[in-house]
Amino acid sequence: MGGPEAQSLAGAPETVADVGSEVDGAGISRAPTRGVEAPPDPHLPSLGEVESGPAAPIHPTGNALLAADVGTVYTKVYLLEDVAGERRLVALGRAPTLGGDGTPAAGEALAQALTQALRRAGRERHPVPEQRLLLTSAGMVPRLAMVAPGGADARALRSSLEGLPVRLLEPVLLEGAGRDPEHLLGQIEVQAPDAVIVAGGGRPAERALAGAAVEAISRGFGRQGPLVLLIGDAEFIAQVSPILEGDRAHVAGDDPRAAVQDLAGRFVEERLAGLDSASGGLGAWSGGGAGSSLEGVCAATRLIADRYDVDVLTLDLGAAHAMAVACLGQSGRRRVVVATRDDLGLRLGRQTILRETGTEALSAWLPIDVAGEALRLDARQGAAIPAAVPETVDDLLLEHAYAREALRLLLEDLARRLGGDGGVTGSATALPPIDLVIGSGGVLAGVPRLTQAALILLDAVQPDALTQLALDRATALSLLGSIGTQDGPAALGAALERDGLLNLGLCIAPVGAGKEGEPAIKVEVVYATRSPVTVDVAVGAIEVVPLPIGERASLKLWPARDFDIGLGQGSAATPRAEVEGGAVGIIVDARGRPLALPGSREKRQAKLLQWLQSTGAYPQFSFVHHPSHRPGEVAAQTIGPSGGPP
Amino acid sequence: MTPGSIVDLLDLDRTDQPSAGQAMAPQAPFVGRPLLTEGLVRRRRAWGTDEAEVLVRQGDQVSAGQAVARLRRPGRATALDAAAILGLSPERVESSLLCAVGDMLAEGDVLAERRALAGLQRRVLRSPASGRLSYVSPAHGTLFIQPQAVESAVIAHLSGEVVAAGAAGVMVEGPALSVAGVAGAGRAAAGKLYLAESPTELPSEPGGAIVCCAFVLDEGTVVAMAEAGAVGILAPGIADATIQRLGWDDLLWTAARLERGERWASHPAPPLTVVLLASGPNDAPSELREALRPHAGRLASLVGVEPGIAPELLISLADGLPVPVGNAAGTGAQRTMELTAGTRVRVLAGRSQGLSGELVGTPDSPYRLASEIMTEVADVRLAHGTVIRVPIAHLQVIP
């Protein structure tokens, strides 16, 4: 554990059972800052060249770990070492994954990121730890088509795979149109999956249908076709295996989950080979093994849910993918449901987001006018120059609007999966109550103000009552999950968890209906070391009450007559346990559920401005806003002779 | 050193309160792809899972337009549930056929005929597509008609020596001038290089040529050049309205799909190979015109989207032109670049997209943009003397 400032997640779960759920959050210790790093060394070390140097103040032990995560846009290297008996994240480095010729060059990116990590750790050289870990998220969402005799088989199959970070495509049902082999082949051709899962069913007639489907896939696509994963009893497997040529068949038997995990592992190897075709030197990083970052994020979510016995929702928004992981239910019977999209990433997926949501839905999150043409240009730029950064507040607001819409699309998918039909019929249900929402991925981790990440999560999830918010500020969640999976939960010390997760704060969201401006809730925050603060938050408003990291406070909540904070309308609540401080504070969100934005453009923009200003999420934003410049028309910040403004 | 919070790990700005803004994660050194690269380069020619006949061996000398492999893509067979259509049990389907496995069929050919009820009821099964009857399933009564395989050639793209050749690909090395695109469509195509300063200067007979436009690509140019048989167009940029009219949003940005690791899907084919140097309606920098002018009429090769290669125009210099010293990319990709004062750069993204100028300097420490994101920036002097500060990630060295 850290010093007295440290915020603990590791102790006994503290409860706010009076208001319905047990909530706790990740905290983080704070230490004096270091200076800005020196420019990177142009002579990059390869892993084999990294040696022990005299400058290293910490002597790595058996707990030292060098980990790398190869992403679509950036490759990161993490250095973990023993510090005061605990494994800690000591430094991380980052370098673009693409090389100088515009194609992936992961080997060089790893070397460059390692150099940066070592410099951040304050040393020139470093002994190569015995333990190494290589992860990748680049192109790592396997797309799986499903062919099943009937809807029940498809639901069972989807249910067995719901906890895996794969994209399950619409099932083709053999009791319906899929019985026609040409229809079946056409559907699979359109879906362009990495693999097709064919479920054999239980009855002879179903096995015959599935056998015909396997034959159609084999004969229809020939050697150019996708891999086929056979699921069924021994009789079905024996019947259809000979139909498939060479290594195109994978037999899952009655354990589709394990088979799909094996398949995903094979994709990781293939993908990593493709990311470093020039040097082929990634093997030294992993010591022969590699894993999926997405699986790491899923594992971390499970570990956190188990450790604190809470319902957790992780939202991971990368450059090329988006993933929601819900871990719900009681300990020992926890259900993990994952929704993954390989086309909703905040860089390469902007065009998909724009196409699926439309300009109106995106503009609804902007307190400024943005023309449809500008949105399309921005979306194309995201695909062409994925490392581009938002320069102005307008750009940042637009990026965050994309984030909200991407998460909304993803959560719709998750809600369908959580529904009783496993998403087969496409009917969505509302998300169940969540205790802890974790934001992950480059866009959320890189927000200039942490309140922005909190607002994006709140607007996407729209949680009720009390919900803790946390941020994977170091984009290390996948690493934590991988360590926990590999070495057991005990390997994830509380300190290491703190290094990865940043507690943003608690959100209090009363549910009910009322007139704009009328009282929705009164919140009293009783601090341990200073005078209490009481805030009245009106219907349609959102406020932030300071409760910094390191502080604790007890809460008293008085919802208005028509509002509910978990104990019924108008019922006051007093959480039994103290609340821990977070980087943002306590957020009181009385904007209503579902969040309804005014229909008229002027009113909607005014309302958004009000929310942004009351939370201090963005720099001062004028009500008399000058329209954005069109790209290419006006230069960025003009510099005066001294390097500042002219 | 003792590790502290994540704020320390990332070297974040600790001067503000947490809620008042902390900067983004670690700085990255400049890794960029210059607009123009001249020197000895290597290019990988790969073909994924397609059946390929490799036509060259290590040590061979090849020309940019020469085929290094011949691909054969069989295509998907059409499946016909003959048993259901004819009302027969699966095992009786084969005996009812009027043709045999291996026969070539035209669309509409009669495959089988069944008469019932003393000839009163007649069911005819016709081929829905042309191709070869490849298989008749005795177990399910399904017919499979395999279309003619599509054959295509993989060209070398670069004149030079084959330094490696294998079943999965070929590596060619040679001196070349490369022009880096940010988006594109279409496979590698080689042809004579034409330069056009404006739409009125387009070649009248561009058959088999690659046309380099110095102007924003418009619909008329695309249609005219495609109809006249040009094999490729390089353009500095394209307007939103043009993309909308051509319906090219799904065509030009397929590199993103390749990044996602699509393994199996085929991409839509454009009427000719297209490479864009910017995602917006940008004009060509003067350096591009100057660099390309001496090469008009020479053999060039253009790649829009292919596995393992980014969009580019390549002009091979293997046939006698001197290779400049000091500007060679080397046989591997040059990863990091030194941004020194005086370097010519252009802006590819953000508020200043389309502008170009001369690098004045790069501040030692990250800079807080108006968005409050901390990032490495560079000061760039524009032609009229104004100095702008731009994120390095938005810059491209011309050079």
Domain borders along chain A are: 62-129, 143-266, 293-615
The CATH number of whichever domain residue B130 belongs to comes to 2.40.50
Q: Which residues touch A614 (CB under 8 Å, ≥6 apart)?
A: A541, A542, A543, A544
- Using 50, 70 and 90 to split pLDDT, how confident is the model at A454? very high
CA distance A569 to chain B (A): 32
Name which of A39, A90, A189 is nearest B3 (Cβ-Cβ): A90
One-letter amino acid identity for A235? E
B236, B110: one domain: no
Helix (H) or strand (E) holding A434: none
Q: Which residue, B285, B316, B347, sits at the end of a domain?
A: B316
**CB nearest B336 (choices: A30, A42, A390):** A42
Inspect the interface and report whether the beta carbons of B11 and A215 lie closer than 8 Å.
Answer: no
Where do we find the tokens 């390309």?
A: B292
Contact B76 A95 (CB under 8 A): no
Cα A7 to Cα B193: distance, rounded to the nearest angstrom: 66
Instruction: Tell me how far apart the alpha carbons of residues A431 and A593 are, in angstroms, rounded to a whole number.
Output: 12
Helix (H, G, I), strand (E, B) or coil at A266: helix
Candidate from A58, A88, A631 with C-beta closest to B353: A631
Interface of B with A in 260-319 (CB under 8 A): 260-265, 278-282, 308-312
DSSP state of A59: -
Q: Which residue has the higher pLDDT, A5 or A614?
A: A614
Say if residue B253 is in the same domain as residue B139: no
Residues B274 and B364 in one domain: no
B101 and A CB contact within 8 Å: no
Q: Indicate if B201 and B116 belong to the same structural domain.
A: no
Mutate to test the interface with A, among B7, B17, B19, B381 (most CBs of A within 10 A): B19
B23 contacts A448? CB cut-off 8 A: yes
Beta strands in B59-109 (DSSP E): 61-62, 67-73, 78-81, 104-105
Nearest CA in chain A to B72: A224
What pLDDT sits at residue A24? Answer: 33
- Give me the domain span that covers residue B384: 338-397
Contacts A442 to B, Cβ<8 Å: 25
Specify the CATH number for A62-129; select among 3.30.420.40, 3.40.50.720, 3.40.50.280, 3.40.50.300.
Answer: 3.30.420.40
Among all residues of chain B, which has the CA nearest to that of A379? B279
Angle, helix A601-615 to helix A450-461, in steps of 10 degrees: 130
CATH code: domain of residue B357: 2.30.30.30
Q: Is residue B60 part of a domain?
A: no
> CA separation (Å) from B57 to B61, B165, B210, B308, B331?
9, 6, 28, 20, 19
Work out the angle at residue A348's Cα, subtended by the Cα atoms of residues A347 and A353, and round it to the nearest 5 degrees.
85
Tell whether B310 and B343 lie within a shared domain.
Answer: no
A271 band by pLDDT with thresholds 50, 70 and 90? confident
CA distances from A102 to A442, A622, B33, B99, B305 (A): 21, 40, 6, 52, 12
**Closest CB from B5, B21, B372 relative to A28:** B5
What is the structure's pLDDT at A638? Answer: 55
Residues of chain B where predicted confidence (pLDDT) is lower than 50: 1-29, 260-265, 322-333
Which residues of chain A from 203 to 232 reach within 8 Å of chain B, CB to CB?
A: 208, 211-212, 215-216, 219-226
**Rounded CA Rg of chain A:** 26
pLDDT of residue A48: 40
Does the pLDDT at position A280 exceed 90? no
Is A381 in the B-facing interface, judged by CB distances under 8 Å?
yes
Residue in B6, B169, B154 with CA at minimum distance from that of residue B71: B154
pLDDT at A457 over 90: yes
d(CA A250, CA A589): 50
Q: In chain A, which residues have their Cβ closer than 8 Å to the Cβ of B41?
A: 101
Same domain, B198 and B237: yes
Residue A266: pLDDT over 90: no
Give SS3 for A450: helix
CB contact under 8 A, B366 and A36: yes
A residues 582-621 closer than 8 Å to B (CB): 583-585, 616, 619
Query: Does one domain contain both B268 and B203?
Result: yes
- CATH number for A143-266: choose from 3.40.50.2300, 1.20.1510.10, 3.40.50.150, 3.40.50.300: 3.40.50.2300
Asked whether the beta carbons of residue B76 and residue A221 sit closer than 8 angstroms, the reply is yes
The pLDDT of residue A639 is above 80: no
Interface contact A396, partner B, CB < 8 A: yes
Least confident window among A37-41, A338-342, A387-391, B348-352: A37-41
Can you give the CATH number for the domain in which B243 is found?
Answer: 3.50.30
Residues 6 or more apart whose Cβ sits within 8 Å of residue B81: A179, A180, A181, A182, B140, B141, B142
Interfacial B residues in 21-50 facing A (CB < 8 Å): 21-29, 31-34, 41, 44, 49-50
Query: Which is higher by pLDDT, A458 or A226?
Result: A458
B263/B301 same-domain check: yes
A502/B6 touch (CB, cutoff 8 Å), yes or no: yes
* pLDDT of res. A393: 92
Chain B's closest residue to A191, CA to CA, is: B265
Query: Which of A228, A380, A392, A395 should be substituted to probe chain B, the one whose Cβ sees the most B Cβ atoms within 10 Å?
Result: A380
pLDDT digits (tens, 9 = 90+) for A528-582: 888 999 999 999 999 999 999 989 999 999 999 999 998 888 888 888 889 999 9
Q: pLDDT band for A624, please (50, 70, 90 cuts).
A: very low
Under an 8 A CB cutoff, do B78 and A182 touch?
yes
Find chain A residues with C-beta within 8 A of B140's C-beta: 181, 208, 211-212, 215
Cβ–Cβ < 8 Å for A364, A404: no
Q: Is residue B113 part of a domain?
A: yes
The answer to whether the CB atoms of A393 and B379 lie below 8 A apart is: no
- Residues B187, B91 share a domain: no
Q: How far apart are CA B257 and CA B304, in angstroms?
A: 13
B65 — phi, psi (to 5°)? -90, 0
Contact A499 B9 (CB under 8 A): yes
pLDDT score of A18: 30
Minimal Cα–Cα distance from A92 to chain B, Å? 7
Mark residue B167 as left, alpha or beta (left: phi above 0; alpha: psi -120 to 50; beta: remaining): alpha
Q: What is the largest CA-CA distance in chain A?
A: 83
The strand pairing partners of B46, in sequence order, are B169
Give B187 to chain A, closest Cα distance, Å: 16
In this structure, the answer to whether residues B208 and B294 fall within a common structural domain is yes
Cis peptide before A40 (omega within 30 of 0): no
Chain A residue with minimum CA distance to B361: A643
B46 belongs to a structural domain: no
Answer yes or no: do B280 and A632 touch at CB < 8 A: yes
Q: Is A450 within 8 Å of A492 (Cβ atoms)?
A: no
**Residues of chain A contacting B133 with CB distance shorter than 8 Å:** none
pLDDT at A324 over 50: yes
Which has more pLDDT, B150 or A639?
Answer: B150
Integer Cα distance of A565 and A466 in angstroms: 8
Are B179 and B298 within one domain?
Answer: yes
Between A123-137, A146-160, A189-203, A489-503, the lowest mean confidence (pLDDT) is in A123-137
**Tens digits of per-residue pLDDT, A327-386?**
999 888 899 999 999 889 998 899 999 999 999 999 999 999 999 999 999 999 988 888
Specify the higher pLDDT residue, A472 or A128: A472
Indicate the number of domains in chain B.
3
Query: Both B276 and B209 in a single domain?
Result: yes
Q: Can you tell me which residue has the tokens 């699966």? A: B90
Tell me the chain A residues in contact with residue B137 when contact means C-beta distances shorter than 8 Å: 212, 215, 219
B220 touches chain A (CB under 8 A): no
Statement: residue A633 has pLDDT above 90 = no
Q: What's the token pair of residue B379?
A: 């000061």
In chain A, what residues touch B76 (CB-CB under 8 Å)?
185, 189, 220-221, 224
Confirm or reject contact between B206 and chain A (CB < 8 A): no
B329 domain residue, yes or no:
no
Q: How many CB pairs under 8 A join A and B?
A: 374
